[in-house]
Amino acid sequence: MIKVNELIGLIKAYNPKTNYQLITQAYQYSKNMHRGQLRRSGEPYFMHPVSVAALLTEQRLDDATIITALLHDTLEDTKSTYNEVEKIFGPEIVGLVEGVTNLTNLQLNSSQTKQAENFRKLFMAMSKDLRVILVKLADRLHNMRTIKHMSPEKQQKKSIETMDVFAPLAGRIGMHWMREELEDLAFRVLNPKARASIIRRFITLQKQTGRVVPKITEDIKFELEKANITSEVFGRAKKPYSVWRKMEEKKQGFSQLSDIYGFRIITISEDDCYRTLGAIHQRWRSVPGRFKDYISQPKSNGYRSIHTTVSGRDGTQVEVQIRTRQMHDVAETGVAAHWSYRDGMRVNNPFTIDPSTWVSNMNDRIGHPEDHEEFLEHVQLEMYTDQVFCFSPKGEVIKLPRGATPLDFAYAIHTRIGNSCVGANVNGLRVPLWTRLRNGQSVTIITAGNQKPQPTWNDIVVTGRAKSAIRRSLREEHKDSFIKLGRELVRSAFEHIGKRSTEKALTIAAKELNLKDVSNLLELVGSTDLSSKDVVNAIYPDLVKKSGIEPLDPMRAVIGLPSGVHVKRSRCCLPVPPERIVGIKHKGDGVFVHSIDCGALMELEEHPNRWVDVHWDTGKHSATNTVTLNITIGNDSGVLGRICSLIGEQRANISDLHFIDRKPDYFRILVDVDVSDFEHLHGIMIAIEADTDVAALERHRDIALKPYLN
């Protein structure tokens, strides 16, 4: 375990003016609070916070961040209190400790709604003080380094969360070394065989080619000395996960991969960076399309460097990164460089990004989505994607995620420009709106006053800002029709339980569902973001249960079952009485009932021992058998509401509705309807098919869903 004088020595190495008395006090306080606690490895728990603190000294961070690391588990895991920490260490530190504690309690891989809400809290914490995230990342890194002591289930869970959230977050704030290590540690757990295979191939390659990295390093040093350029040169093989990801992305084997070795050249000045690039390209042939100048076009987190790939010794392709010492400091610690110290003074690095500005820009790119799914989608887009840089006609640089289109470019300029976009010129040539933009292209957006966003645009754009603006505009455009449809769906659902959907009832339902008003509730129901059953259930849960919306016990509906065996309708065909049926045994799950003509049964022809002869018990059915209808209707005002009314008139309940295809001239929807039997279903389908705006209607069956009905 690191002793207090050793920790202070690490801090004094870059900050001789550190408040070592306060560091010592925090060390002893945390040690006392965690006394008697053990990690799963059997070691004293206190070694974890002190190790996290030591990790942060490698980034030369300030005293407050180091103390926060020492105390970061005290509020959650010990008898320590907020008031006590504030009294001893002050409001700044207790605020940081509380922030880390709150992040520890977030379940970032939980259900989608909860996950999105927790991501919101994550970004809120970042906006208050980014040092909270720096401590949390160091905490996760140390936990991943010691993960072998956890149970296999917990190792899997933590590794997935690390790969999905913390590694990309580290990369997003510029801490690429941490991202690489977190990814590789998670990769070791999630795919140990693949990682071991790549390491074996590296060993084999080294035997075949010799010590490539030292040889190429000496070659680069020789060329730079010849050009009178003072520099430092470092080389290494890329991490196993980085190599595996390249193999997956390019669909190539290990032997086909290029640039599995990387080299970094650190120079004195920016001029030397470009002189170095010239010397490298004079000595070795550059690989076309593999040059990026992040010095003239820095990344949003302050990253600056020149990247080039060349054919090195014996034709081996290697990536070379060229930067100055100040650029390197930012490249190593990203936004964290804002708090870095050197020789007792806060580093005055011209390339450091103000964290508050960076978080503000991040939040602007995410926009203000109105639902959990959108927010989650936007966060993942922003954290996982690299960037391209394009130019406006005025020479302004627009930064976009890789894969962005002219529509994304238009929305990045202004929502009004995006909404009215009708076309685009890229480098002077007219291109389709779905064209993928590349680095350095000049983009001119063509607009028209009467243009409005189209539903198909959602499939074209990739940025969260564009998606949010398009969906918001479409919602506004169709708001009245959604409200009208929602009112019809809710009316039908209320009538099904013998109640009326009065304004008072809807107001209460909106309040129970935490919605702002009745219009908002009806709009969400009409746009299928909220089910009418959920609205009714918010007020009359007992009546919903009695009404038959809850599944009928199949034991009373099917005859021919062995004693004590449970039966369920199979999702692939959703049979209804009195259709001919057959039962299929499933180990541990009872018997699943299929229609006799279900396509899923073909796979079971060679297993007659699993078949059970069953039939419906006529007369013992209520409207509890859900079937799915695939309906294609004209995209005209009132059509969907009319279809829902027709279903309601047949005394059937709509339990769910999904848009699966939205086009300017038609909609295709899947409607889940609760029916009593086939005659009931037949009557509903005749009523729907008779409507002039219904282009196609069929009973939806999907053998891919076999065999379960959830």
Convert the pLDDT of each residue in 173-227 to its tens digit.
778 888 889 999 999 998 888 888 888 877 777 666 667 788 888 999 999 999 9
pLDDT at 618 over 50: yes
Which of 102-116, 541-555, 638-652, 687-701 holds the top average pLDDT?
687-701
pLDDT at 258 over 60: no
Residue 710 is predicted with a pLDDT of 37
Of the candidate ranges 21-25, 194-198, 405-409, 422-426, the one whose mean pLDDT is the lowest: 194-198
Answer whether 354's CB lies under 8 Å from 173's CB. Answer: no
As a whole number of angstroms, the distance between CA 703 and CA 419 comes to 41
Residue 619 is predicted with a pLDDT of 56
> Residue range 35-57: average pLDDT?
91
Q: How confident is the model at residue 171 (pLDDT cuts 50, 70, 90)?
A: confident
Fold (topology level) of 551-710: Alpha-Beta Plaits (3.30.70)
- List the structure tokens of 678: 């086939």
pLDDT at 84 over 90: yes
> Residue range 465-483: average pLDDT?
80
pLDDT at 37 over 70: yes
As a whole number of angstroms, the distance between CA 142 and CA 135 comes to 11
Class of domain 193-346 (CATH, top level) = alpha beta
Of the candidate ranges 360-374, 467-481, 491-505, 562-576, the one whose mean pLDDT is the lowest: 360-374
As a whole number of angstroms, the distance between CA 142 and CA 155 comes to 13
As a whole number of angstroms, the distance between CA 378 and CA 373 comes to 9
597 is catalytic: no
pLDDT at 383 over 70: no
Active-site annotation holder among 6, 62, 73, 77? 77
Specify the 3-state DSSP secondary structure of 39.
Answer: coil
pLDDT at 122 over 80: no
> Residue range 269-298: average pLDDT?
89
> Residue range 71-91: average pLDDT?
91
Average pLDDT, the chain: 80
Q: What is the largest CA-CA distance in the chain?
A: 96
Which of 330-344, 416-430, 480-494 holds the top average pLDDT?
416-430
Answer whether 569's CB lies under 8 Å from 595's CB. Answer: no
Residue 85 is predicted with a pLDDT of 92
Fold (topology level) of 4-186: Hypothetical protein af1432 (1.10.3210)
301-324 pLDDT tens trace: 678 899 998 886 666 778 899 999
Tally Cβ neighbours within 10 Å of residue 26.
27
As a whole number of angstroms, the distance between CA 148 and CA 220 comes to 40
Is cis: bond before 578, omega within 30 of 0? yes
**For residues 162, 168, 172 and 174, what is the CA-based torsion angle, rounded to 10 degrees?**
70
- The residues, ordered by sequence, that sit 6+ positions from 154 with a Cβ below 8 Å of its Cβ are none
- List the structure tokens of 618: 């006529």
Superfamily for 367-380+387-465?
Beta-grasp domain (3.10.20.30)
**Domain parsing of the chain, residue ranges:** 4-186, 193-346, 367-380+387-465, 479-546, 551-710
Answer whether 18's CB lies under 8 Å from 63's CB. Answer: yes
Q: How confident is the model at residue 584 (pLDDT cuts 50, 70, 90)?
A: confident
Q: How confident is the model at residue 694 (pLDDT cuts 50, 70, 90)?
A: confident
- The residues, ordered by sequence, that sit 6+ positions from 440 with a Cβ below 8 Å of its Cβ are 389, 390, 391
As a whole number of angstroms, the distance between CA 430 and CA 672 comes to 45
pLDDT at 31 over 50: yes
pLDDT at 88 over 70: yes
Q: Where does residue 478 rank: exposed (0-12), middle (13-18), buried (19+ CB within 10 A)?
A: middle
Answer whether 709's CB lies under 8 Å from 568's CB. Answer: yes
Of the candidate ranges 21-30, 505-514, 568-577, 658-667, the one whose mean pLDDT is the lowest: 658-667
Residue 264 is predicted with a pLDDT of 92
Higher pLDDT, 687 or 260: 687
Residue 406 is predicted with a pLDDT of 94
164 is catalytic: no
Residue 517 is predicted with a pLDDT of 87
Among residues 438, 442, 441, the alpha carbon closest in space to that of 289 is found at 438
Among residues 210, 213, 264, 203, the alpha carbon closest in space to that of 237 is found at 213
Active-site annotation holder among 43, 62, 76, 218? 76
Q: How confident is the model at residue 49 (pLDDT cuts 50, 70, 90)?
A: very high
Using a cut of 0.85, tell me whether the model's pTM lies above it.
no
Q: How confident is the model at residue 390 (pLDDT cuts 50, 70, 90)?
A: confident
Specify the 3-state DSSP secondary structure of 79.
Answer: coil
